[in-house]
Chain A
Amino acid sequence: MNKGSKSYLIMGMGVIVVVMLGLFWTGYNSLVDKEENVMESWSQVESNLQRKLDLLPNLVKVVKTYAKHEKELLTEITALRANADDLLSENKSLPNEVQVAKLGKMKQNLDTSLLKLYAVAENYPDLKSSEQFLQLQSQIEGAENRINITRMQFNSSVGDFNAYMRTIPSNIIASIGGFQRKAYFKAEQSAHKKLDLGL
């Protein structure tokens, strides 16, 4: 190999290294951006879940005033709320697939109990027409709607991240950079149908 060919080879290899570094650089940054989007979307979901949980003690208090005999159900809701609160506190950062599933299950149980509570309210006309109860109901429904909207936004950013991670060369960059697939926060269809209060 003559001197000229050697220098061409070095230059070629240099270009390849620069291109590869460039690809790694942009790919890594894109993954970081997309992961940040996922984290931001999750924080919205989390804050709305918390918002819903924070409204429950007030709801229990109002129902207690009108429906003193429903102690068992109210205790059940209070316990579920406390569990959910703990679960949320445990998952301050982005939860993994198992944790998301746990949160989903917790939400479903809570929604089922809330549905029971609304059904109970039907037996107490004063409670049902009380402005305080109606306002709390609308606030909880508002929180539920926000959870749904932010959940959709979260799933969309998770989808975007996961799809990008599977493309070449992002899959290589992701494994080098230690990026992991994100879990979707799936809606329990049955729970949502039940929580539609017919408003």
Chain B
Amino acid sequence: MKKMYIYILIGLITFLFTACDTKTSAEEKRDTLSNIIIDDAYIILDNQELMQQYTDYNEQLLKEFDIDFRVITTTDDSNIDIFTNQAFTTLQSESRSNSGKALLMVVNVSQDKVRLEVSMALEPIYTDAYVSYVERKGLVPYFRDNKVADGIYMMTELTRDRASEAREGKEFMPPMESKSIGGGAKTKAHIGVIDPNVKKGDHITTTTSDTPKDILNKHIHVLKTHNKNPDLEIYSDASKVFFKSWTVTDINMNNEYRFINQCNKGREFRYSENHQYAVAMNHPVKERTCSPYFFKKERGKWTLDISTMSKVLRFNGPMQWHFDMAKKFEIMSNYEFAFVGLYYDKNGYPFISKNKNLGAKKLKWGFTCSAYYDPRDPSKTIKCWIKQLQQEGVAKNRLGLQQRDKILSAGEGSSLIDNISMDDFMEYMKTIPSGKKAVVTVERDTGEVKVLRTTTP
């Protein structure tokens, strides 16, 4: 009996040890795998903002295409090909993808090499030649500028672009085991090694007779020839400064060239009243596939204002443009003239009102307005913010409205309408009998609130 108790005790202890051990290793595994980036070389995770963007993009890649993209930075001195394949197998034992679509990027800092491993399910899409090309042309330029995190983020974007193209061409393979047999490519990373030829290129001159269209054509030529010289005369002063610190890759240039060439039809140039600013716009705007280009005059010559464009324009996954609304109101006032009549949703995507008669009505009253969205306080959103005012228009001369006035309300007493839209404003004006007073409350650009009254004709 005593012996039996001893056996039971030994069995119990063994069981507990085994159970505890299993739990610990499982927990460790989960912790490691929960990171989509394993930054063992400590070179990327300090860039918190970019990493947050990267994480969002990575999640999107998983949701949209079921692609599990992981990154490891390391200083390991073993063969990078074998290290990557083994790490891939370990990570993919608990794959986030349900169809075996996985990518693993390994940046080996001590060997100065980068490798992107491709799972078998993705080999037809991310061929070795393609991976090698994007590594050399899209990733290494960032690494050379010591922007490893930016490079990795760019790689995720390129991965998404390629997946999107492949989906349209139906190149995806049916679900399979998440396994790799060494697909992908490696390349020299050149981290922090400046390319002496990177900011060089033929000098492009401009003349005072060049129009914004000529400047845009020269820019297209620059893109086509991969001219990365930041001091070209086609750029504004601020844009030259911007390009000096900005990493430009052949792939970025190819993409922009491709997009800009698709937009040659339907391009219109709009000019500011003082003729110091111009915007190349494409119609129909609602398609959002052709982004606007900003031009400003400097020393009597038109230049491309890439600096402002880079601050206010944003692109989503399918490369549709929209505004960064917070920045738009701060720095884009010089270009507002080109966007008169456009409305924006809360994410800054432009659209045109469905009301087809709105244009005619606007002309009748001599003003146009669009919504004002206050990014710091959404409750302060104003439906009608006057964008353009005709000099001889009724709104300016009879009602006393000024450009950039925000219409807070119309009417008074029981007929008061708060935060009135342009359509409702028109309706309100129609309801005022001839000879009676119309009341409009506006907030001026200075913050002053003014009540305007006028007698209707």
A residues at B contact (CB < 8 Å): 44, 48, 131, 134-136, 138-139, 141-143, 145-146, 148-150, 152-153, 198-199
Q: Which residues of A contact B133 (CB under 8 A)?
A: 131, 134-135, 138
Q: Identify which of A139, A150, A153 contacts B128 (C-beta below 8 A).
A: A139
Is B230 in the interface zone, CB < 8 Å from A? no
Chain A interface helix/strand/loop/mixed = helix
- B180 proximity list for chain A (CB < 8 A): 149
Decide: A146 near B181, CB < 8 A? Known: A198-B188, A199-B186, A199-B188. Answer: yes
3 closest A-B pairs by CB: A142-B128, A138-B132, A149-B182
Q: Is the CB of B132 within 8 A of A148?
A: no
Instruction: Tell me if B102 is interfacial: C-beta within 8 Å of chain A.
Output: no
Q: Which residues of B contact A136 (CB under 8 A)?
A: 129
Q: Which residue of chain B lies nearest to A140 when distances are taken between CB atoms in the complex? A: B128
CB of B184 within 8 Å of the partner chain: yes
Whether the Cβ atoms of A149 and B132 lie closer than 8 Å is no
Task: Tell me whether B384 is interfacial, beta carbon within 8 Å.
Answer: no
Selected from B127, B132, B183, B187, the residue in CB contact (under 8 A) with A146 is B183
CB of A146 within 8 A of CB of B129, answer: no
In the bound complex, CA of A148 to CA of B128 (Å): 15
The answer to whether A149 and B129 touch (CB under 8 A), given A142-B184, A142-B185, A199-B186, is no
Given A149-B181, A150-B181, 16 more pairs with CB closer than 8 A: A135-B129, A135-B133, A138-B128, A138-B131, A139-B127, A141-B128, A141-B185, A143-B128, A145-B184, A145-B186, A146-B181, A146-B182, A149-B81, A149-B180, A149-B182, A199-B187
A44 touching B181, Cβ below 8 Å? yes
- B residues near A, CB below 8 A? 81-82, 85, 113, 127-129, 131-133, 136, 180-188
For B182, give the chain A residue with the smallest CB separation.
A149
In the complex, chain B residues whose CB is within 8 Å of the CB of A153: 181
Question: How far, in whole Å, are A153 and B127 apart by their CA atoms in the complex?
Answer: 22
Query: Which chain A residues border B131 with CB–CB below 8 Å?
Result: 138
Complex: A146 Cα to B224 Cα, angstroms: 36
Kindly state the separation between the CA atoms of A176 and B423 in the bound complex, as whole angstroms.
Answer: 93
What is the minimal beta-carbon distance from B227 to any residue of chain A, in angstroms?
17
Report A-chain residues with C-beta under 8 Å of the C-beta of B183. 142, 146
A148 with B182: CB separation less than 8 A: yes
| Other-chain residue from B81, B85, B185, B188 in contact with A138 (beta carbon distance below 8 A) | B185
Min CB gap A196→B, angstroms:
9
Is A134 a contact partner of B185 (Cβ separation < 8 A)? no
In-complex Cβ contact of A142 among B113, B182, B188 (8 A): B182
